[in-house]
Structure 1
Amino acid sequence: MSARFDVPEVDAFTRTYWDAAAEGTLLIRRCGACGRAHHYPREFCPHCWSEEVSWEEASGRATLYTWSTVHRNDLPPFADRTPYVAAVVDLAEGPRMMTELVECGAGDLAAGMPLRVAFREGKPVFRPGG
């Protein structure tokens, strides 16, 4: 079996995030000092640099910010998935997140459309829905 390039490298810090995702829960981090949420998970707040951050379950709601349809990707297992839609979404809690859109055609997409989180093999992806 060849190497896969869609499998995250889990470490001691991100294990909480990936374990929750494997169970169908999207987590974000929230700063206790400034109150702002952020994603991707970090051990400090990227807004005020406080280390007073904790895990929080996200609502799973988002809006589409931008996207691109990928027609060619030779890295395993992406070649078997083309075309697919790589996207940036705005989570309801505020952070922006890179992801993949599923269950929709590129012609059905519009900036600002409502999305809901879904999970594929323990990784968050988004699909249309309010």
Structure 2
Amino acid sequence: MTAPAFPLPDPGEPLTGGFWRAAARDRLAFPLCGACDRFCWYPEPGCPGCGGSDLVWTSVEPAGTLFSWSVVHHAFLPAFADQVPFVAAVVTIDGAPGVRLVTRLIDARPCDLAVGARVRARFVPLRFSTVAGEVRAPFFRPDPRRIP
């Protein structure tokens, strides 16, 4: 059985490219609907709230709250074999109401984590030993400036 291909995210992709282009500049951005002022994540061609199509990529403060996490011990694709274990996390983003971002948590021991902990993005190169190239991605880490 052949392992599935694992491409890097494409900054030119119409729906998610704005996220990756912002991350390349160390910014966190999400589509905001111009009609109803709602953030739309995960990106869709139209706003899931009002159906509007006037979506603008909007930068927000790269900070939030830890909503959930899990320690990944088994590489689900060969590209991740040299990265386990790692902490997969869901972060509620402060400046984007309704947005929960699936990300990776770094610089923290799982035994020290707590729901509601304050976290902040650090933009790091996303690389895989099985894939050429890299993109920058927002990984989150505990925010020492803010105590939950």
Residue in structure 1 matching 2:39, options 37, 40, 49:
37
Deviations 1:15-70 (A, max 9, x none): 33212211211111111111111223333212222112111101101101111100
Residues 50-65 of structure 1 mapped to structure 2, 5 A cutoff: 50-65=52-67
Asked if 1 retains the 8 angstrom alpha-carbon contact of 2:62 and 2:93, the reply is: yes
For the pair shown, the structure with the greater C-alpha radius of gyration is: 2
Asked if 2 retains the 8 angstrom alpha-carbon contact of 1:6 and 1:77, the reply is: no
Counterpart check, 1:123 vs 2:125: no
Tell me what 1:97 maps to: 101
Separation (CA, whole Å) in 2 of partners of 1:22 and 1:4? 23
Tell me what 2:70 maps to: 68
Aligned Cα root-mean-square deviation (Å): 2.0
Residue in structure 1 matching 2:29, options 27, 30, 37:
27
* Structure 2 length-normalised TM: 0.77
Q: Residue type matched to 2:141 in 1?
A: R
Secondary structure, aligned partner of 1:37: coil
Structure 1 gaps, min length 5: none
Percent same amino acid among aligned pairs?
A: 38
Asked if 2 retains the 8 angstrom alpha-carbon contact of 1:29 and 1:42, the reply is: no
Which 4+ residue blocks in structure 1 deviate beyond 4 angstroms? none
Tell me what 1:5 maps to: 6
Q: Residue type matched to 1:124 in 2?
A: P
Asked if 1 retains the 8 angstrom alpha-carbon contact of 2:11 and 2:21, the reply is: no
Tell me what 2:132 maps to: none
Count of matched residue pairs: 129
